[in-house]
Structure 1
Amino acid sequence: MQSKEKVSIIIPCYNDHLYIVRAVESAVAQTWPVKEIILIDDGSNEQTKIKLRSLKKKIDKLISQANEGVSAARNRGIEAASGEYILVLDSDDYFEPDFCKMALDAFRQDEEIKLVTCYSNWFDEKSSKLFRPLGGKVKDALFKNIAMGSSMFRKRNWEEVGGYDEKMLKGFEDWEFYIRLLKSGGQAYVIQKVLFNYRNKANSRNKKANMEKYAIKEYIYNKHADLYKEHFSFFIHEWLKTDKKREAFKQQVMNSLDYKVGNKILKPLRLIGLFKKNRD
């Protein structure tokens, strides 16, 4: 076993006292023995700071900073990392014990691999569902994210592309980082096994990002305009394919009995509202 195969597990945390212990425990439980765990306190409240201090014996480093966002927190943690491989983990999620070992096996088998992700269990208090990221090359990443935000990559590749974009405070920063990671070649590899658990909280960053997604997408498209121009035909094909699916679903809803009955019931009320508006 070589020391260069050390994995640095980077866990940013902001006001997440409820779930941070589970995230750290999943890092400690990784069966790959050569690892370090770095926690970044991104300006958390006192309740969370107390919880983070209680974890000091289970981790290797605790870095504190003012609240600068997840990109800055990840970058500070990776800067302090001594491992060749980086595993980013959000503080409310957790990995299964074999992820690091299986990810490193993938890296060793194919030099083209720059990013390793896996099938994921998306869960909340009431239900769960299987999510299969697509993986692929940079062309595949232009239309949507192809890997989980918590994935593994080499530190040198992170350095080559300049880390996470710290201007991206509203979300999708992992997607944009992966585009840059794969821009010069390589691929994202998907382990076809459920090794990651994503906590789908009501106020999750992912849901907040979806509320701002058009502005964020515009930023990404403009930042990587050269790539979108290079793969214009593919991008438009994927765009229209998605739009077609959306229209088909909309038509299915409009043709449903529930929609037709509801429309008949509401139509008189709309006419009354229109009449009142015109009279005013």
Structure 2
Amino acid sequence: MQFSVIIPIYNLEGYIEKCIDSVLNQSFHDYEIILVNDGSTDTSKKICQNYVSENIILINKENGGLSDARNIGIKNSSGDYLLFLDGDDFWSEKNFLEELNKIINDDAPDLIVFPLSYYYNSNNIKFNCFNINYDKTLNFSRDFQFLVNHGIYTPSACNKCIKRNLLDSYELYFPIGRLSEDIQWCGRLLEYVNDYYIYNKVCYMYRQNRVGSITHRVSEKNILHILGSIDEGISTESKVSDDLKLRNLELYFSYSFIELIPYVNPYLDNKIIVSLLSKYKYLIKYGFSFNDKKKKIISITVSLFGFYVSSVCLNFLVRIYRIFNK
């Protein structure tokens, strides 16, 4: 079997049918769907039961979080390549798997990355493609700086198609009990992926502003977990002997570190947060090379005015933006 599509589900009764149907409508059919119902209390389980068939597996479990659900999906998968599709998102193109299959047959890369488009509603979609002009199999470590600087390799599991034996061989599972679990997982992939391919077409619709979505909130707990992922990820440097991979690891984690800064101001009385911000403030230097204007501005602001003043000003701008974009 070529693909295993892992779909974690928790209380998504209003979204899960569109998600599953977007896979079933694919023109390529050599795949299995693994639905992992993570203790839903709405009708999600009943909806999923109606889909169970020869190539659609439903696993019901007690609530353990997104990481646990994905890990169970990985362990029960049989496809040569894995894709992660969140239960409130969907694929927009019917030939998506067919085109991924062609890439695999031609080049068999360890990793295929593709863009996420931002879906607010059917009349408001921010279609997204990478600002590049090539699509061939390339060396991952050598090109990593370009991939991060141009927003191609980001901390998301959902925009990646990955060889299953790579995850099995190195036990690349998601960290249990941690929010923003993709940050650490994608950081670990960096150590083991050798070659990659960029599929640069609109394909994945990433739903925005869903009520109850954990990605729509930036809480003190969320900030602690992100900083914890950065701390654990960079601490693995002592195990990495390749200088290029060490630099790439820091560059990768700087992406999430810089994104946090506009949101930390309300929590600067937390000693752990302050300690970790101080410990990794040197990551700011990587932001100057990012193609993302927002991250570049944040990096310049912190360099000129320091963490405290910058976090106050940037947090104010975030709140103003939210008021005018409700």
Change (3 A) 1:142 1:165: farther
**Residue 117 in structure 1 maps to residue 113 in structure 2:** yes
**Residue 189 in structure 1 maps to residue 197 in structure 2:** yes
Which range moves more in the overlay, 89-98 or 238-247? Answer: 238-247
SS in 2 for 1:39: strand
Match of 1:100 in 2: 97
Q: 1:217 aligns with which of 208, 226, 238?
A: 226
Q: 2:70 aligns with which of 74, 78, 81?
A: 74
Q: 1:127 aligns with which of 106, 112, 124?
A: 124
Compute the displacement of 1:145 (Å). Answer: 7.6
For the 8 Å contact 2:119–2:208, the answer to whether it is kept is yes
Compute the displacement of 1:175 (Å). Answer: 3.2
Q: 1:231 aligns with which of 247, 252, 256?
A: 247
Larger Rg belongs to: 1
Change (3 A) 1:175 1:98: farther
Q: Give the alignment of 1:236-251 within 5 angstroms.
A: 236=283, 237-241=285-289, 244-246=296-298
Q: 1:162 aligns with which of 171, 193, 209?
A: 171
Name the amino acid aligned to 1:204. Answer: S
**Residue 179 in structure 1 maps to residue 195 in structure 2:** no
Q: How many angstroms apart in 1 are the aligned matches of 2:80 and 2:131?
A: 25
5+ unaligned residues in a row in structure 2: which ranges?
A: 133-138, 255-282, 305-316, 318-326
SS in 2 for 1:16: coil
Match of 2:280 in 1: none
Compute the displacement of 1:215 (Å). Answer: 2.2
Compute the displacement of 1:220 (Å). Answer: 2.3
Greater strand fraction, Structure 1 or Structure 2: 1
Match of 1:201 in 2: 209
Q: How many angstroms apart in 2 are the aligned matches of 1:56 and 1:213?
A: 35
Compute the displacement of 1:245 (Å). Answer: 1.4
Q: How many angstroms apart in 2 are the aligned matches of 1:184 and 1:210?
A: 32
The TM-score, its normalising length taken from structure 1, stands at 0.74
SS in 2 for 1:18: coil
Across the two proteins, how many residue pairs are aligned to each other? 246
Q: How many angstroms apart in 2 are the aligned matches of 1:145 and 1:179?
A: 14
Which range moves more in the overlay, 241-250 or 143-152? Answer: 241-250
Deviations 1:105-156 (A, max 9, x none): 2233335x32223233211136221334689846547888825432311111
The TM-score, its normalising length taken from structure 2, stands at 0.64
For the 8 Å contact 2:8–2:38, the answer to whether it is kept is yes
Superposition RMSD in Å: 3.4
Compute the displacement of 1:177 (Å). Answer: 1.6
Deviations 1:220-258 (A, max 9, x none): 22222244983188564323456651377899xxxxxxx
Identity %: 22
For the 8 Å contact 2:11–2:41, the answer to whether it is kept is yes
Compute the displacement of 1:90 (Å). Answer: 0.6
Compute the displacement of 1:85 (Å). Answer: 1.4
Name the amino acid aligned to 1:22. Answer: K
Q: How many angstroms apart in 2 are the aligned matches of 1:30 and 1:59?
A: 14
Q: How many angstroms apart in 1 are the aligned matches of 2:296 and 2:2?
A: 46
Name the amino acid aligned to 1:40. Answer: V
Which range moves more in the overlay, 15-24 or 203-212? Answer: 203-212
5+ unaligned residues in a row in structure 1: which ranges?
A: 252-258, 260-280
Change (3 A) 1:58 1:51: farther
Which range moves more in the overlay, 93-102 or 209-218? Answer: 209-218
Q: How many angstroms apart in 2 are the aligned matches of 1:85 and 1:193?
A: 19
Compute the displacement of 1:191 (Å). Answer: 1.1
